[in-house]
Structure 1
């Protein structure tokens, strides 16, 4: 993994609640996109008022990073790469502007010359070889990935995108591709209860012929627990036929504090659930369901 230094080149307001920020600079010369539509990076933000002073960490041999001794730790957030243009040395990242939080606050004031750090990208979308149709479901946080996934979908693959957004003004234009249908519903996104699980069940009801299908769902993390359970336990989808990706958590700023406040025995119980790193993909999905169920009983 490489940590790159990126400089803001342009800022464009897509909607009243989303801005596209284009990054460039010599630090991106070694950036290599995976080409996967939902690839994501960790962004390292300035730790103080100087928007060009970023405490970039050093990458480690195990794929992580460490802050150099004597330097402040940079705030870190995870974001999707909306577009990568290696020929121009640029990448685009879309930010939801919701009025609070480290990343949103930084993006709302972003201007050319601002500096951030970002690591090498990782993609999660992995449809099967026999892909004939797919369903993409997300809230506002997943729209950048949905747009790029639609752009990269092969001709002949029927795609249904179901989007939960606060209101119609929040949705930037999506690529117009043959075979793509887009439906929108209003709600969720921190403005009310998320309906992502309901939307997934309506788009793929029990009895659906799942041959050649793939399901990709992203958005509010705790709302996706019911989605994963539905796809795996009720529809009996094998792990290679779906991907559920949590993008954000209500009260994220206090989540870690609440987790650390758990009794030592409970935290040990939770961490021990992942003691078998060689578990097969099928087992990993079932383990994730058990882990998420335990978090729910703990109010997390």
Structure 2
């Protein structure tokens, strides 16, 4: 994990949501030409790509820390070979600039929540860490964090009523144990909340458990796929039958229940091996 601290006048207008898992997009210049391609927001609020989407080099990252007084923003990068963001972060030096957009947070336990279950792999550790640091007192919390091995464990805040279990595996080097472990955890009585961040297929399995077996209402969970294990996922998606891609895209653009849409899209991805 590599932490970079950003500063400068460009952060004067940055407004944090204050939510522990808030995220933003970083836009990177082309390493060969130095040119920066950005999307354009149309009148409906959607992104359009005048130069084509392949020209826009961006990645989504958690705001690990924002200090408005010092004008500093920290972002933790999982270092790996061949990633646009990872490569840039390892080359970054004082004076380099980056473009980012406004943040958005997802973590939102309903009022009256008595317990919560938090789980993440290495990519979710920055958000998990900040959530624990901002945890309200008295909330019973079980935490499961999965990293490659013991050397990758990090110090985490442990508010009263919180227990933390480290798992070793997953993260693109071994099968993940998060899904199996969460299914075995005895859950307390009363209203609860489940928050998970990790690899897309792992989160997909956990989502089945939360929706189909626990039958939690949508406001009682936030399950986010932070990355995809298949390096050729985008190419395989583009190679799908155009009718399948159109059906997926139409589902996302519809006004249907987003959770039902996610169920349908997940089922389609599983059917075609994505």
TM-score, normalisation: structure 1: 0.84
- Are the aligned partners of 2:144 and 2:178 in contact in 1 as well (CA < 8 Å)? no
- Are the aligned partners of 2:167 and 2:177 in contact in 1 as well (CA < 8 Å)? no
Aligned to 1:273: 251
TM-score, normalisation: structure 2: 0.92
Q: How does 1:1-300 map to 2 (within 5 A)?
A: 18-49=1-32, 54-65=36-47, 73-203=55-185, 205=186, 208-252=187-231, 254-277=232-255, 279=256, 283-300=257-274
- Are the aligned partners of 2:115 and 2:188 in contact in 1 as well (CA < 8 Å)? no
Aligned to 1:3: none
- Are the aligned partners of 1:131 and 1:212 in contact in 2 as well (CA < 8 Å)? yes
The structure 1 segments of at least 4 consecutive aligned residues displaced by more than 3 Å after TM superposition are: 53-70
Deviations 1:215-259 (A, max 9, x none): 10010011111111100110110111111000000134x222211
Cα distance between partner residues in 2 of 1:88 and 1:59: 30
Q: Tell me whether 58-67 or 177-186 shows the greater mean CA deviation.
A: 58-67
- Are the aligned partners of 1:228 and 1:289 in contact in 2 as well (CA < 8 Å)? no
Deviations 1:152-172 (A, max 9, x none): 110111221101110111122
Deviations 1:87-125 (A, max 9, x none): 111111000112331111111222211111110001111
Cα distance between partner residues in 1 of 2:72 and 2:36: 19
How many residue pairs end up in the alignment?
Answer: 273
Cα distance between partner residues in 2 of 1:20 and 1:130: 35
- Are the aligned partners of 1:56 and 1:117 in contact in 2 as well (CA < 8 Å)? no
Classify the secondary structure of the residue corresponding to 1:175.
Answer: coil
Structure 2 residue runs without a partner (length 5+)? none
